[in-house]
Amino acid sequence: MELTPSQIDEAAAALRAGGLVILPTETVYGLAADAANARAVAAVYGAKGRPSFNPLIAHVAEVAAARRIARFDDRAERLAARFWPGPLTLVLPVLDTAAVCDLARAGLDTVAVRSPAHPLARALLRAFGGPVVAPSANRSGRPSPTTFADALGETGAAAAAGLDGGPCDIGLESTVVALLDVPRLLRPGAVTRAALEAEIGPLAEAEADARRSPGRLARHYAPELPLRLNATEPREGEVWLGFGPGFPEPLNLSPTGDPAEAAANLFSYLRAADRSGARAIAVAPIPEEGLGEAINDRLRRAAGFVG
């Protein structure tokens, strides 16, 4: 039976009962569960087909709740004050290993925390009252869903409830910063490198050590069709994802060359390209500045280029 959109109180009750909930956020749709309930968390990994060594983000409504879960230092306080609620995830030493269970953290002594800005996400977090894990609602390795319908198509069958928050404003997953030793950018996103560095100084790259950056697997966010990047002209049988003036509609990521618009369209256009009947996808060059770093990161992973 197809899931119909729930009310906040029904979704909170589903979480309390150990069920999974399709959760809209300003970045992408998540598949939410009670972070303290290991059986519910196991069901999230199962529904996504996600390896259980790749930990989940704990979502909270308020900074005060995050401080109970994770040890905040000055840098974490600054970033939370400036960017929360919003598309930034902080990886910090864990304090409460029951509130975010071992399985949710993949057994690490660190925890990823984020306070999302979407009003429905905030309403659900308040109604539920505890931390909620929510990986992107796609099956592992696929593009993150940016609409309720796309989320249902990916993992809706495993959900007991779902909130329809409309299309996601940002369309790319949150920026992930680890504050364990020197600050490290684990995943670029809408809170840009420049914006972060303005608050806390230079960011190091993610470590090659996969145990510290378990999400940095090679092929990720991938459509079904092969993907060719920085394509300045189309080839036979390819569908175009353009960027800027002069590229054909309807799959121009942003006819005006606006990176925020391109980010918001990226994953739904990859899905549309998959359905187009073409044999491959060609994507126009996108400048690397600002949000372009996050867009190109997702594109390189979708094409299988990043280790």
User: 50 CB contacts (<8 Å, ≥6 apart)?
Assistant: 44, 135, 140
If one asks whether residue 25 binds ligand TXA (CB under 6 A), the answer comes out as yes
Q: Which does 186 bind (CB under 5 to 8 A by kind): Mg ion, ligand TXA, none?
A: ligand TXA
CA dist 149 and 170 (Å) reads 17
Among 57, 125, 152, 291, binds ligand TXA (CB under 6 A): 57
Stretch that binds Mg ion, among 134-142, 184-192, 230-238, 258-266 (CB under 5 A): 134-142
If one asks whether residue 30 binds ligand TXA (CB under 6 A), the answer comes out as yes
Q: Which residue's structure tokens are 């940095």?
A: 216
Stretch that binds ligand TXA, among 5-13, 24-32, 73-81, 224-232 (CB under 6 A): 24-32
* Residues linked to residue 93 through DSSP beta bridges, in sequence order: 110
Stretch that binds ligand TXA, among 26-34, 71-79, 224-232, 234-242 (CB under 6 A): 26-34
If one asks whether residue 146 binds ligand TXA (CB under 6 A), the answer comes out as no
If one asks whether residue 28 binds ligand TXA (CB under 6 A), the answer comes out as yes
Q: How far apart are the first and last CA of the chain?
A: 39
| Structure tokens, 206 | 């993610």
**Residues that contact ligand TXA, how many (by CB under 6 A):** 29
Cis peptide, bond prior to residue 135, ω within 30 of zero: no
Rounded to the nearest 10 degrees, the angle between the axes of helix 8-16 and helix 119-128 is 50
Q: How many residues are there in the chain?
A: 307
Stretch that binds ligand TXA, among 60-68, 105-113, 255-263, 291-299 (CB under 6 A): 105-113
CA dist 113 and 85 (Å) reads 11
Could you tell me the CA-to-CA distances from 78 to 63, 74, 179 in Å, in that order? Answer: 11, 6, 12
Q: Which is nearer to ligand TXA, 220 or 242 (CB)?
A: 220
If one asks whether residue 192 binds ligand TXA (CB under 6 A), the answer comes out as no
CA dist 57 and 113 (Å) reads 6
If one asks whether residue 136 binds Mg ion (CB under 5 A), the answer comes out as yes
For the bound state, the minimum distance from the C-beta of residue 33 to ligand TXA, rounded and expressed in Å, comes to 12
DSSP-derived 3-state class of residue 74:
helix
Residues engaged in binding Mg ion (CB under 5 A) = 136
User: Which residues in this chain contact ligand TXA in the complex, by CB under 6 A?
Assistant: 25, 27-28, 30, 54-57, 89, 91, 105, 108, 110-112, 114, 116, 134-136, 173-174, 176, 178, 186-187, 213-215
